Structure 1
Amino acid sequence: MNINASIVDQRLEGLLAQYGNQLAELAGTDPTRQKSLAFVLLSVMTSLDLETEEAFDFLTEGGGDAGVDAIHLGEVDDGEFTVTIFQGKYKHKNLDGESNFPENGVKNAINMLFVLFDPSKPLSVNEKLKPRIEDIRSLIQDGYIPNVRLMLCNNGSKWDAEAQGWIEQSGMNNEQVQWVHFNHDNIVQVLQRKKTVSDSITLSGKAIIEDFNFRRVLVGKVAVREIAELFNRNHDLLLERNIWRYLGLHANRVNESIHQTLTDTNKQNNFYFFNNGITMVCQKFRHNALQGENYQLKLENIQVINGGQTCKTIQHTLNDPNNQNRYDNVYVLLRLYELAEDDQDFIREITYATNSQNPVDLRDLKSNDPIQYQLETGIQELGYSYKRFRDDASVAGKQITSAITAEAVMAVWRKKPHQSKFRRKELFGKLYKMVFESLTPAQAVLAVLVFRVAENERKRPVYIKPEPSFLPYSAHYMAMLIGQELLENHQLSFKNINHKNLAVFVQDLEENKSIYLNKAADLLQNALNKIYGKRDVSLQQLSATFRRGDLLEYLPVV
């Protein structure tokens, strides 16, 4: 028995015990299917660094799923967007971790890709998957370019040479499609990402080392080979966040530019000048100060907090067996900060300051903002728990995450439902002030509760009958309309929501959610009728309409 495969199997048993009902809703009563789906869920959670409830929303298990077990649609960035598709194959009786990902699974994935990303081809999939695919097709129709990451997940080995041959023959093993094998070893690696790493690295030439504000700082240059070897030894435990957000060499323009510079013999020696460098933190570093230059650093508890994409691109480029370039004189700038163990808040502040151009981590990086502390304290007084940053714990009914708060407030109170959904990564960046400025704890809680009502109806329709075709795309708009109706019924403005009347709003929302949902659905249908008349509207058109915010002009938004 493989130890990591056994650890993952135990983790799956825990998911089944905690989320058995939700898994049964999707996979039926068969325990084997439930466990297979739990494996897909765990793969989604760990590979995309998502909390359990959020990961559930991306599962598409069921008949007619076209071999897609889960699908995640990233946001549009610079005319491109990333789609991550999961296909899971779990061995239940054999936990030796040696079975290859099946060749038929690879063939099915190839066939699936040819259909899903061609808007002209007819689509026959289940009702949970179809709106998501039409969302993707709508973006393609609008001229956006998809980058596809295909995660083939199992508790065994990678696919064999015959399966790789099918990939090569398909023509899809290119810059636009990444074929990623993700297994029990990868899952355990991610679960252990908080494990400390101690190692050594050799600098080239002179370096500046000084004490500054009760901390030690080092600035120097390091050969790119040293970076590649450091990551080959320690893999991705060096990274602040989960490496599976890394988009590869070609699916990201910055990474592609780094790769091209490293492989261009006319430019690689100037890589030091072209790149912004790497920032690391450690608890302690030691060196021979009498040496003068070319220090060998002994590092304890290392983390890369800026330049992770650079590091991974260096590693991938130098490890490429087809790359015959020499890298004897190719260097990158290194900034190293020695910080105490109790300096975690300061580390987050450094990470925020040096990563503000990279929105992936902004939620955690904003967790120490005074506004977030105030919300945490005030929301706790209201009987709820506010999670300022991500952790491994699941979110219960009385718990509210900062991410959902931002999304809900932007939709419900700021009345920007399309930005709330399609500019999520900017809610803790460019839009942070618009979302959180002057926001009270009571307003935040009510926004989240309103948003949950709309989201729950989208995921599992109960109250709106017959179910409208636009429902999969409408939760943010419905939340906005419900919030507005709630205030009108109580003849109060948004500014009047406070700790004294919150309970009245919550009770009204809970007792009359069916009325609020149906009225919001009617308003949306009327708006769509004004745009399209009585003619049939495709899911692609609906997706584009909600994405662009066309409906706001036809809704009674005040």
Structure 2
Amino acid sequence: MSINIGIIDQRIRKLAEDLAAEFEARLNIKNDENKQRSLSFVFLVVKTILDLPDEQGLDCLTEGGNDFGVDALHIGDVEDGEFAVTLFQGKYKQNLAGDANFPQTGVEKTIQAIRYLFDPDAVITTNENLTKRLEEIRSLVRDGHIPRVRVVLCNNGLKWTDTAQQLIERAGYPDDQVVWEHVNHDCIVRMLQSTKQVDDTLRLSGKAIIEDLDYCRVLVGKIPVREVEVLFNRHGDLLLERNVRRFLGLQGNRVNQNIEHTLKTEAERGNFYFYNNGITLLCRKFAYNALQGENYQVRVEGLQVINGGQTCKTIQTTLASLAGMDDGMENAFVLVRLYQLPSESADLVRSIIYATNSQNPVDLRDLRSNDPKQKSLETSISDLGFAYHRHRSQASLKPTDISSATAAEAVLSVWRERPHQAKFYGREHFGKLYDLIFTDDLHAAQVIMAVLLFRHAENMRRRPPEGSPDFISYASCFLAMLMGQYLLHDLGIGLDKLNHLNFLEARSKWDQNAERYFKEAVTAIEKAIGKLYGQQNLSLQRLAATFRRGDLLQELKGEVALGA
């Protein structure tokens, strides 16, 4: 047994114990240690690969009968008419030798799953957890959105065999729409070792500019793409710990696909330097031979990639696929900017990360963490007995903890009355929608109450009361919105009057009436659906599309929720 297999097995056993109640409530799995450990392994992979909090990681699990070999599924936001779907299948061996390949039968099942899951007209039978997500995918496909599929096959052993790889290739799925990835114990441990420092040597090509600026040092030069591949082969994602987004893959990412195309086209490789924006690196210290005029070998301590991680990973992936085909690759270079910053310059580091990454809204949750509004909320929410997390955290959140991501979704749903944008425009919460959500007059009491209402609606979605209508699976943001307005109505105030002075009264009112508010909100939505569709028998696909588009908002205007 390797040390990494032991590390993961120890973590899996602890997770299986901690999550036993969740597995029983969500997936009806109990008194089965092997299955609980296998699910814990899938959960750990999902959480680590997608960087999700525990609740969202658990929501992805779909394991059960009629699951087409899909143990977990995550649906990303729609962006430029495309949306990412990540499928997970896990095989956890209780025998910890680590010498078993990912089984060919698992690969075959996943090939079949892709063939049927993304075809809105295919008739298949799946378990309840998978069906809800499946119909959400199919409704997006019917609306003309293109799925980009990332298949993650994970085990505590070796990759699938060459024979299984041939099956994947013969399936004929387009490379720009379906990508396959193997994750095992070694991959997970590398991603979990976030505190390990990366020290290495950068071998530059040609001349470079090196300058001291106010206790900082800057180096600008170029590096062969082969050096980038070697660097990432040695250190992997440890180089990306400060990077606010990990590798998005080639699927559905046109920038990464263009990088790949340039490197694979012999006539274009020499132009790579001109086509790419380059890589930004941070370090604690760098040293070089100043007596040289060019081709420096730069020794670096505490190296991190803060911008250009996508470029680096795409270079690594593409060059690995071109092994033995080096013609012209010696002419392929990429621009590098290396910054040596003092250890006490954390704010400057965050500012550089913000400035170099802010073109992509998905990054902005971390990048906004130093915004004055976020700092003010952290302080004022703390005064009311809750803890507001501006920064992303790996630690499990307690009931009194509020992440900035949850706060954004809750406030947009409950107080800004945009539940459809809260659910399906997550990429924009800290981008285009940021100033709408986090207004200057947003009080701590408003954030906390929105989160409490939203969490209640989410809990009802995950564990719907017996006899609940099907739309519960898609309506949590709408239900939270309605409940928020019922609360204000009973308090006899408008949102602008909800603050620290009446926070305890508001919370007490909510605790007393949560069940009634939820039932009234369900009834209101049932009536609105009736007005919208009459007596039609609605499929899950239709319901998913209804809540995604916000069709019900007009019908709900007769409710107290929208000020009637």
Under TM normalisation by the shorter chain, which class is it? over 0.9
2:22 maps to which residue? Answer: 22
Give the 3 Å change call, closer, same or farther, for CA 380–362 of structure 1 in structure 2. same
2:542 maps to which residue? Answer: 541
In structure 2, give the amino acid aligned to 1:2. Answer: S
1:175 maps to which residue? Answer: 176
In structure 2, give the amino acid aligned to 1:215. Answer: C
CA distance, structure 1, for counterparts of residue 242 and residue 134 of structure 2: 28
Instruction: Provide TM-score, normalisation by structure 1.
Output: 0.96
Please give the residue correspondences for 1:487-526 in structure 2 after superposition, counting only pairs within 5 Å: 487-526=488-527
1:446 maps to which residue? Answer: 449
Please give the residue correspondences for 1:147-158 in structure 2 after superposition, counting only pairs within 5 Å: 147-158=148-159
1:54 maps to which residue? Answer: 56
Q: Tell whether the 8 Å contact from 2:176 to 2:257 is kept in structure 1 after alignment.
A: no
In structure 2, give the amino acid aligned to 1:11. Answer: R
2:78 maps to which residue? Answer: 76
The counterpart of 1:456, out of the listed 456, 459, 462, is 459
Instruction: Provide TM-score, normalisation by structure 2.
Output: 0.95
What secondary structure sits across from 1:404 in the alignment?
A: helix
Aligned residue-pair number: 555
Give the 3 Å change call, closer, same or farther, for CA 249–452 of structure 1 in structure 2. closer
2:332 maps to which residue? Answer: 330
**For each residue in 1:423-457, what CA deviation from the matched residue of structure 2 results, as whole angstroms up to 9, or x when unmatched?**
11111111111111221111111110010111110
2:222 maps to which residue? Answer: 221
CA distance, structure 2, for counterparts of residue 273 and residue 199 of structure 1: 26
**Moved >4 Å (runs of 4+):** 241-245
| Worse-matched range after superposition: 311-320 or 514-523 | 311-320
What secondary structure sits across from 1:158 in the alignment?
A: coil
Q: Tell whether the 8 Å contact from 1:43 to 1:153 is kept in structure 2 after alignment.
A: yes
CA distance, structure 2, for counterparts of residue 241 and residue 283 of structure 1: 13
Q: Tell whether the 8 Å contact from 1:47 to 1:242 is kept in structure 2 after alignment.
A: no
1:10 maps to which residue? Answer: 10
In structure 2, give the amino acid aligned to 1:333. Answer: L
**For each residue in 1:357-396, what CA deviation from the matched residue of structure 2 results, as whole angstroms up to 9, or x when unmatched?**
2233321121111111111111111011111111221011
Q: How far has the Cα of 1:250 moved from its partner? A: 4.5
Q: How far has the Cα of 1:324 moved from its partner? A: 4.0
Please give the residue correspondences for 1:33-432 in structure 2 after superposition, counting only pairs within 5 Å: 33-92=35-94, 94-172=95-173, 174-240=175-241, 245-321=246-322, 323-432=325-434
What secondary structure sits across from 1:143 in the alignment?
A: coil
In structure 2, give the amino acid aligned to 1:441. Answer: A
Residue 503 (structure 2) pairs with residue 470 (structure 1): no
Q: Tell whether the 8 Å contact from 1:167 to 1:173 is kept in structure 2 after alignment.
A: no
Q: How far has the Cα of 1:238 moved from its partner? A: 0.7
Q: Tell whether the 8 Å contact from 1:53 to 1:395 is kept in structure 2 after alignment.
A: no
Residue identity (%): 52
In structure 1, give the amino acid aligned to 2:45. Answer: S
What secondary structure sits across from 2:240 in the alignment?
A: coil
CA distance, structure 2, for counterparts of residue 510 and residue 242 of structure 1: 41
Q: Tell whether the 8 Å contact from 1:348 to 1:365 is kept in structure 2 after alignment.
A: yes
CA distance, structure 2, for counterparts of residue 365 and residue 358 of structure 1: 11
What secondary structure sits across from 1:76 in the alignment?
A: strand
1:550 maps to which residue? Answer: 551
| Worse-matched range after superposition: 311-320 or 300-309 | 311-320
What secondary structure sits across from 2:52 in the alignment?
A: coil
Cα RMSD between the aligned structures? 1.6
What secondary structure sits across from 1:122 in the alignment?
A: coil
CA distance, structure 2, for counterparts of residue 314 and residue 235 of structure 1: 12
CA distance, structure 1, for counterparts of residue 252 and residue 326 of structure 2: 23
Q: Tell whether the 8 Å contact from 1:279 to 1:335 is kept in structure 2 after alignment.
A: yes
Q: How far has the Cα of 1:244 moved from its partner? A: 9.1
What secondary structure sits across from 2:217 in the alignment?
A: strand
CA distance, structure 2, for counterparts of residue 211 and residue 168 of structure 1: 52
Q: How far has the Cα of 1:233 moved from its partner? A: 1.8
CA distance, structure 2, for counterparts of residue 403 and residue 201 of structure 1: 37
Please give the residue correspondences for 1:475-486 in structure 2 after superposition, counting only pairs within 5 Å: 475-486=476-487
CA distance, structure 2, for counterparts of residue 248 and residue 48 of structure 1: 12
Q: Tell whether the 8 Å contact from 1:48 to 1:244 is kept in structure 2 after alignment.
A: no
Unaligned ranges ≥5, structure 2:
none
CA distance, structure 2, for counterparts of residue 416 and residue 311 of structure 1: 38
In structure 1, give the amino acid aligned to 2:80. Answer: D
| Worse-matched range after superposition: 56-65 or 391-400 | 56-65
CA distance, structure 2, for counterparts of residue 244 and residue 444 of structure 1: 26
Q: How far has the Cα of 1:123 moved from its partner? A: 2.7
In structure 1, give the amino acid aligned to 2:179. Answer: Q
Q: Tell whether the 8 Å contact from 1:263 to 1:325 is kept in structure 2 after alignment.
A: no
| Worse-matched range after superposition: 470-479 or 512-521 | 512-521
Give the 3 Å change call, closer, same or farther, for CA 243–356 of structure 1 in structure 2. closer
What secondary structure sits across from 1:72 in the alignment?
A: strand
In structure 1, give the amino acid aligned to 2:408. Answer: A
Q: How far has the Cα of 1:243 moved from its partner? A: 10
In structure 2, give the amino acid aligned to 1:516. Answer: Y
What secondary structure sits across from 1:83 in the alignment?
A: strand
Q: Tell whether the 8 Å contact from 2:85 to 2:148 is kept in structure 1 after alignment.
A: yes
What secondary structure sits across from 2:504 in the alignment?
A: helix
CA distance, structure 1, for counterparts of residue 327 and residue 553 of structure 2: 55
Q: How far has the Cα of 1:54 moved from its partner? A: 2.0
In structure 2, give the amino acid aligned to 1:9. Answer: D
| Worse-matched range after superposition: 356-365 or 426-435 | 356-365
1:32 maps to which residue? Answer: 34
Q: How far has the Cα of 1:329 moved from its partner? A: 2.1
Give the 3 Å change call, closer, same or farther, for CA 241–347 of structure 1 in structure 2. closer
Give the 3 Å change call, closer, same or farther, for CA 420–243 of structure 1 in structure 2. closer
CA distance, structure 1, for counterparts of residue 110 and residue 102 of structure 2: 12
Q: How far has the Cα of 1:262 moved from its partner? A: 2.1
